[in-house]
């Protein structure tokens, strides 16, 4: 049991580091590809379960599109919304999700999410 808790604590620490480095990020989470949350640093008003389920669905669709349309591999998704953005990035066997404020610094977010996803891929 202690090993599982330490891994979750490590994930939470990694998410906090991402949010400290990129002030545009309002919340983040690590989600299993089946839509279950591993760890979350999402804002209190966020519906974590809905975000997790939608993230898994978006990732699956994006992977299929990358393969079918471009014979490629999915890297990331930036969903631009009227109140902010939602970024998804594969991180080994899990999904890294970040919610941002409106008109974020996309380059910085992408760069930091790539670093964060590498750290997560090593854990999972």
At a CB cut-off of 8 Å and minimum separation 6, what does 45 contact?
none
**How far apart (Å, rounded) are the C-alpha atoms in residues 85 and 13?**
22
The model's pLDDT over 43-85, given as tens digits with 9 standing for 90+, comes to 999 999 999 999 999 999 999 999 999 899 999 999 999 999 9
Burial of 70 (0-12, 13-18, 19+ CB in 10 A): exposed
**What confidence tier does 5 reach under pLDDT thresholds 50, 70, 90?**
low
Across the beta sheet with 25-32, what order do the strands follow? 37-40, 25-32, 94-100, 84-91, 76-81
> Looking at domain 2-123, does it have CATH number 3.30.450.30?
yes
Band (114; pLDDT cuts 50, 70, 90)? very high
Q: What is the pTM of this model?
A: 0.91
- Domain locations in the chain? 2-123
Query: Would you say residue 1 has pLDDT above 80?
Result: no
């Amino acid at each position: 049991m202690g090993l599982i808790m330490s891994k979750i604590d490590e994930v939470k620490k990694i998410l906090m580091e991402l949010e400290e480095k990129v002030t545009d990020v309002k919340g983040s989470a690590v989600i299993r590809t089946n839509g279950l949350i591993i760890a979350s640093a999402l804002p209190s008003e966020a519906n974590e379960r809905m975000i997790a389920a939608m993230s898994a669905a978006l990732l699956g669709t994006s992977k299929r599109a990358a393969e079918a349309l471009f014979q490629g591999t999915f890297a990331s998704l930036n969903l631009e919304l009227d109140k902010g953005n939602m970024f998804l990035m594969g991180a080994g066997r899990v999904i890294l999700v970040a919610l941002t404020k409106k008109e974020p610094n996309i380059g910085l977010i992408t760069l930091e999410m790539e670093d964060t996803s590498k750290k997560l891929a090593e854990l999972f």
